[in-house]
Structure 1
Amino acid sequence: MPERASAWGRRLPALSISMLLLAACSHVGQRTGEGPLVRPAQIEPVPGHAAVAPRATGTLEKPYAREAWFYQQRAYPRDFIPAGARAKALRQADKLPLAQRSAKAGPGSLWTSVGPVGFDSNVAPSWGRMSGRVRALAIDPSNGSRLLLGVSTGGVWLSNDAGASWSPLTDNQPSLAIGAVAFAASNPQVLYAGTGEGNGSYYSVGLLRSNDGGANWTVLGGDTFARGAFAGLAIDPTNPDVIVACVTNGSFYGR
């Protein structure tokens, strides 16, 4: 009996070693099945271009990291977006063949009015029934039923029936972000709309002026008001060419 026990005692270490080897082989097999571990390739910077900024991950501790990443994607290869870049891009787009733009937009007008009507928000937190943000309202001094409306990212709208119906006036302008609107009291056909919205939605591309009730517009002060936003407009009641503008990068008096 002692002799038999001694034999088993000699076999136990060998059996343990075999099991360890089997487990090790199994682990290696699983790693091999997953494929070899490859170190990611290092991307060399393109000559003449700025190095790509490290990727930022938005967290609760860094709530603006996502915004910074979004901005960097559009600023490349610079570290910033030059003032007037958006307006320049829009001018370039306007030079495209009209047929090409019409084919993309489809037949008829580029835009179709679906409002103003409210809608039920379904995001958390729910805001209930809501619509776009109105940033500015002006009333024709000579006609109380004629209203001019400026929307945060919806352009300028005109109503001739005290708000029962509305028509968009600036769908084809460089910016739909409106912070201020005004009628000229001495000539109600002269309209002004300040682009750029003070809550940080979009920068201004200048002051819009129409001499024919909104049918045609001219952009004024594009360089002066770049990287700002309009908050208010006041027009000399006797001279439609004299304006006081309140903007986020200062107050201006112009004529």
Structure 2
Amino acid sequence: MAHPTEAQTAFAAGRVHKTTDAGRTWRHSSNGISGCRLQNVCFRPDDPNTFVVFYTDHGAAITRDGGDTFAWVKSLRSFHPMSCGPGDWDAAPGSKRILTSVGGWSKRQLVLSQDVGATWQVVRAEKAGYHCPMFHPQDPKVLYVSADKTGLRSDDGGQTWHSIAHAPRAICRGDGDILFAWRSLGKKEGGYPESEILKSTDRGATWRALPGRILGTPRALACDPRDGSRVYCATSYTGIWVFADGTWRLRTDKHGLTRDQFDVLLYASLAVDPTRPNIVYAGQMHCWEGRSGGVSRSTDFGLTWEDITGNLGPWLTVWSLSVSPHDGTVYIGTDYGTWRLPRPK
């Protein structure tokens, strides 16, 4: 909208709604499937053209033609009209099982589909802030999910659940017994909070802290799918920490990461290429506070980074990163739609 008297001034607004009855009722009419905030993407293990996208405020949608067209997963809306959390697809070949959560932003139920989203059943009615739902890649009966500050595991395909001490934030796709979580140490150094990263090698039954500690608030964890001893941690304010060869290394703008307009290294999403794990992606987030910085990529296991924001522009807050296990395409979820980029040659 142009300012009526100032030629250089204009206004833009989001969340367009449409009425066809003189304002009595309205429906959302923004930018279709690409105009929503993406939580994550889960991929069918035996079909590169089929995947599901999970949106914060609009539920889930499925594509069967590689992303050219989508259809809303309307069956999810019988539990909640709009919101759902991230989801995961059972990695077993031919599997039709999808796990996600539905409800409000902070309290949801866990639901499971056995038929590619046609129908769903509640597998955990008790509401919590469920996040990071994960199928065990080698044992399809085992499911994990973080639930606020602790975690849950099912050993019978979601029929029953029991608590595990810490909230799993990442899994090793090459060995689904290996989980990672984080824990605040309740103290600071140089003004930055100290945390430690915890590792379980027995499906969450026991945990031990990795040597050393990290500075900055952990925001995301990712594990090398072929090497359960290599893990990445994105943080608020300090950058990205890489654990390899038994020690932590901090990566900052000295190694190619990008500071935002507030001179801060605030990274909140991570993804490792499932078949070429030397490729790692990281997304910056400054929610509702201006220029966030965009997306960075490493091709040497996180040692050095490059800015690949490109035509996304610096204004996009990156909420999620997901990499296809079939062709390495990375999907970037932002406040202004879902974008994809092919794997580098």
TM superposition score normalised by structure 1? 0.44
The structure where helix makes up a greater share of residues is: 1
Higher radius of gyration, 1 or 2: 1
The structure where strand makes up a greater share of residues is: 2
